[in-house]
Structure 1
Amino acid sequence: MPRSIDDYLDQAFLPDTVTDADLDALHREIVRDVTATLMFGARPAPEGHYPTALGNAEAALTALSTELIQSTDAAEHLARIADAPSDADGALHFACILSLAQEPDSALWWWQFAAGAGNATAAYCLHLHHLLRGELRDADHWAHQALDLDSDLHLTPATPGPARRLDHPVLALREAVERLKVEELAGAPFHHPDHRLADQIEELVDAC
Structure 2
Amino acid sequence: MRSEIPMRPHQPRTINEALANARIRQDTYTPAHREASRRRISEQLHELRWMQALTTPASLPPRGPRPPLLLHQRAAHDLRALCQGIIHDDDAARRIARFDTARDPGGALAFACLLVLADREEGAQFWLQYAAGGGQATGAICLYLLHLRRGEWRDAKYWARQIEILEHEPCQYAPVPHEVVDTTTGPGGAVTVFLALPNDAATVPEDAVKDAVDDLPVGRIDGLGPIPQPNAGLAHQLEDLVTTTH
In 2 relative to 1, CA 173–145 (structure 1 residues): closer, same or farther, beyond 3 Å? same
> Are the equivalent residues in 2 in contact too, given 1:88–1:114 (CA < 8 A)?
yes
Q: Deviations over 1:75-128 (max 9, x none)?
A: 1111121323x3110000000011111101100000001101111000110000
Q: Which amino acid aligns with 2:54?
A: R
Give the Cα–Cα distance (whole angstroms) in 1 for the partners of residues 91 and 97 of structure 2. 10
The match for 1:164 among 197, 202, 207 is 202
- Aligned Cα root-mean-square deviation (Å): 2.7
Do residues 30 (structure 1) and 49 (structure 2) align? Answer: no
The match for 1:43 among 62, 83, 102 is 62
The match for 2:237 among 183, 200, 207 is 200
Task: Note the residue ranges of structure 2 that are not aligned, 5 or more in a row.
Answer: 1-47, 169-177, 181-192
> Are the equivalent residues in 2 in contact too, given 1:97–1:173 (CA < 8 A)?
yes
The match for 1:71 among 79, 89, 97 is 89
Whose radius of gyration is greater, 1 or 2? 2
SS at match of 2:219: strand
> Are the equivalent residues in 2 in contact too, given 1:147–1:153 (CA < 8 A)?
no
Q: Deviations over 1:5-46 (max 9, x none)?
A: xxxxxxxxxxxxxxxxxxxxx976413246x848xx553576
Q: Which amino acid aligns with 2:215?
A: R
SS at match of 1:156: strand
In 2 relative to 1, CA 202–108 (structure 1 residues): closer, same or farther, beyond 3 Å? same
TM-score of the superposed pair, with normalisation by structure 1? 0.74
Give the Cα–Cα distance (whole angstroms) in 2 for the partners of residues 107 and 80 of structure 1. 18
Give the Cα–Cα distance (whole angstroms) in 2 for the partners of residues 116 and 200 of structure 1. 27
Task: Note the residue ranges of structure 1 that are not aligned, 5 or more in a row.
Answer: 1-25
Give the Cα–Cα distance (whole angstroms) in 2 for the partners of residues 68 and 92 of structure 1. 8
The match for 1:132 among 149, 152, 171 is 149
SS at match of 2:194: coil
SS at match of 1:126: helix
Q: Percent identity?
A: 36
SS at match of 2:90: coil
Q: How does 1:76-155 map to 2 (within 5 A)?
A: 76-84=94-102, 86-150=103-167, 153-154=179-180, 155=193
Q: Alignment length, in residue pairs?
A: 177
SS at match of 2:112: helix
> Are the equivalent residues in 2 in contact too, given 1:123–1:142 (CA < 8 A)?
yes
SS at match of 2:98: helix
> Are the equivalent residues in 2 in contact too, given 1:78–1:90 (CA < 8 A)?
yes
Give the Cα–Cα distance (whole angstroms) in 2 for the partners of residues 103 and 144 of structure 1. 25
